[in-house]
Structure 1
């Protein structure tokens, strides 16, 4: 059992909700809204590759949730459990230089992939965001598309929707959602995945691949037969409510 178990329990029903319902936050008290900050290291002189940054973000997000400190008797458990019980919001911010160094002292996990680094921080109430994080910019976190080549064998693949344009910051949050959903359902594979540092590949699907993998109206069947889970965005930023942004596929 992990702190992500509630995600597995509600995944299928949530995927079937009408699009408008995924963004219904009218009953939320804004002072109680929780989010996981994702800090993307984007240096001015040497920006990272987009794909590597997204892979680092996906690994860092799930690493916080499955860190021993997030276990039932751990110091992070309450913060992670309270966040997972609600919307699994993430807010991506960019940092460089001294600002990047400063966030290393905050509770979280840093992952580096091919020179691209992301620190996923312990989730908490947005109104309590530390000043080291709140001063970081959310806008301007885009990076040019790259050509990463075929995904390596034996790792989960997070397929980006080929028809949806997202900034690197938005995509980082979405692949972070995808890695969490995958971990929530993929119980037998978790130990091995953890040993690899939650390595995964991020690729943009072709229209044909997307159509073949998409769960449609059968999320349980898609997981059972194709090992696929879908991220359906609430539409707070950049995309329309109910948009499926990422399909995560177990190896």
Structure 2
């Protein structure tokens, strides 16, 4: 009789294991450009941008942040689930995301692909199950990456019961690039949260608040992250450090994310 297979590790375990190491890398080493193209995996993140009544930038980023982590925490992405192998393969390398825009029939076609759609204040984003970049579904490959920007808006105070994702005030990101970065941030939070924190977040449908940091918030956050383990343990603070493939220099910190103090 064949012994049953041991259950696999959680899909976000590789992300948690290398988090502090990644922050400590020299900037030039964050961009591993020697990986063969056939080994590069990415999560497609599709932003719904209709010609009429486009969403606000903040709502779109908040939807993207929630959708990305929802794929990773979906029951189908757990050991034994239909999405486990592709999601775990992806999280075991760089957690690359590529944001594309869709409207009309193209959006409807993307909704049929495996993934999770999140809506925030009328903004819709669908995060798809990761795949090799050379094997994107036709429905995704035909979508454009450029042209996804939206004007800045004034979202107001952030709810205290949600994670707060602070964008770098010194770096101008397109909406597509920012969507990928806040998706990285929610994955880092989920990778480091304990089961009680994850349960509390799930009760809020993985909602979060995205804001542009003010100067004090940013400088204090960066100073705390000089000791990543202590920053997480004492302040619930994590940082997204970009590999620099698009828009920003390698090693740039793009997002600071903080869990609610009640967690």
* 1:190 counterpart = 2:198: yes
Matches of 2:172 and 2:213, distance apart in 1? 13
Cα distance, 1:2 vs structure 2: 2.8
- Give the greater-gyration-radius structure (CA): 2
Of 121, 130, 133, which residue of structure 2 is paired with 1:123?
130
Structure 2 Cα separation of the partners of residues 34 and 3 of structure 1: 14
Alignment of 1:13-32 (within 5 A): 13-26=21-34, 28-32=35-39
Residue-by-residue CA offset, 1:86-143 (whole Å, 9 max, x unaligned): 0100000000011000001000000000000000000010111011000000000000
Offset of residue 212 of structure 1: 1.2
User: Could you state the TM-score of these two structures normalised by the residue count of structure 1?
Assistant: 0.98
C-alpha separation in 2, matches of 1:122 and 1:173: 14
Q: Any conservation in 1 of the 2:42–2:98 contact (CA below 8 Å)?
A: yes
> Partner of 1:59 in structure 2?
66
Q: Is 1:226 paired with 2:232?
A: no
Q: TM-score, normalised by structure 2?
A: 0.94
The secondary structure found in structure 1 opposite 2:200 is helix
Instruction: Say whether residues 1:202 and 2:204 are aligned partners.
Output: no
CA contact (8 A) 2:225 2:238 kept: no
1:7 maps to what in 2? 15
Say whether 1:89 aligns with 2:96.
yes
Which position in structure 2 is the counterpart of 1:152?
159
After TM superposition, give the deviation of residue 25 of structure 1 in Å. 2.2
Q: Which residue of 1 aligns with 2:5?
A: none
Segments of structure 1 that go 5 or more residues without pairing to the other structure are none
Q: Determine if contact 1:213/1:226 at 8 Å carries over to the other structure.
A: no
Of 89-98 and 213-222, deviating more is 213-222
Unmatched runs of 5 consecutive residues or more in structure 2: 1-8
Q: Cα RMSD over matched residues?
A: 0.8
1:71 aligned partner = 78
| Correspondence for 1:217 among 226, 229, 232 | 226
Any conservation in 2 of the 1:80–1:122 contact (CA below 8 Å)? yes
Count of aligned positions = 250
Measure, in 2, the Cα distance between the counterparts of 1:230 and 1:224.
14
SS of 1:212 mapped into structure 2: helix
